[in-house]
Amino acid sequence: MQERPILLIFDVDGTLTDSAGLTRVAYEKAFIDIYSIANSTKNINPYGLTDPLIFREILKNCNLTEDGFNEQFNRFSKLTSFHLKRELDLSDKPRLHNGIAHLLFKLEQNDQIYLALGTGNVELNARLKIEIHGVNKFFPVGGFADDAEDRTTIIKTAYQRASDYYKIQFSKQNTWVIGDTDHDINCGKAINANTIAVATGVYNNEELESYNPTAVFTDFTDFKRFVNIINNNEIPHTL
């Protein structure tokens, strides 16, 4: 029986879910609503960026000022959430990545494993993306783009909120940041946590390995290997 509490901080996009490009659709519809500009996200690479940073990139892309940024972003964020919910409700394309449903179900059975979100989404958008798949219940707490523009600060917030919520001071040795980009790996390292990278986003195994995470997975279908790694802090070969 696992005797030491373990905290797992999961990213959302590319790690838990594939929203089939609907986030970008929602961004563009919100931008049309506010600025009457179409194709606002053209040539923007959003992977690993937080919502406020993506919005800054869109403003730059469209030659718009960042004056009054917070007010602009709040309006944009509310409209994005409105459109995202509608798009998710109307589409059958969003999905959980391979192995996620089983992984979360099995992790919940272990009373020494605790879960949190650590995502660049604002909280409402993150919750919308996982609620449609029935896995919101696994994540009572987290860090979000509402908390900070910087992803490392978001992960620090997720760690602290989880410690407060679960009333456990998790050791960094038993804290894991789990994501699909170099940004997730780097901010996990920044808080001295372990890192698990998964190649279900836009980066392949070799690309993720180059950032030296604790472990790399192709996907999370191998539950036993996942549990073995977090229980023993092994540095295994890539699957």
pLDDT exceeding 70 applies to what percent of the chain? 96
Whether the pLDDT of residue 134 is over 50: the answer is yes
More confident residue, 237 or 109: 109
SS3 category, 134: coil
In CATH terms, the superfamily for domain 6-18+95-232 is HAD superfamily/HAD-like (3.40.50.1000)
Count of other CB atoms within 10 angstroms of residue 26: 23
Digit-coded pLDDT (tens) for 179-229: 999 999 999 999 999 999 999 999 999 999 999 999 999 999 999 999 999
- The predicted structure's pLDDT at residue 239: 46
Closest CA to 219 of 173, 178, 175, 176: 178
CB 154 within 8 A of CB 144: yes
Residues 6 or more apart whose CB falls under 8 angstroms from that of 30 comprise: 76, 79, 80, 82, 83
d(CA 93, CA 190): 35
| pLDDT band, residue 234 (cuts 50/70/90) | low
* 3: pLDDT strictly greater than 90: no
* Pair of tokens at residue 16: 């838990």
Stated pTM of the model: 0.95
Give the C-alpha separation, 140 to 22, whole Å. 24
Q: Is 136 helix (H, G, I), strand (E, B) or coil?
A: helix
Instruction: Look at residue 235 in the predicted model and tell me its pLDDT.
Output: 53
- For the stretch 43-73, pLDDT in tens is 998 888 999 999 999 999 999 999 999 999 9
Instruction: In whole angstroms, give the CA distance from residue 198 to residue 151.
Output: 18
Percent of the chain scoring above 90 in pLDDT:
92
Phi, psi of 201 (to 5 degrees): -100, -130
Distance CA 33, CA 35 (A): 6
pLDDT score of 1 more than 60: no
Q: Where are the domains of the chain?
A: 6-18+95-232, 22-90
Query: What is the model's pLDDT at position 232?
Result: 76
| pLDDT, greater one: 238 or 159 | 159
DSSP result, 213-235: -SEEES-S--HHHHHHHHHHT--
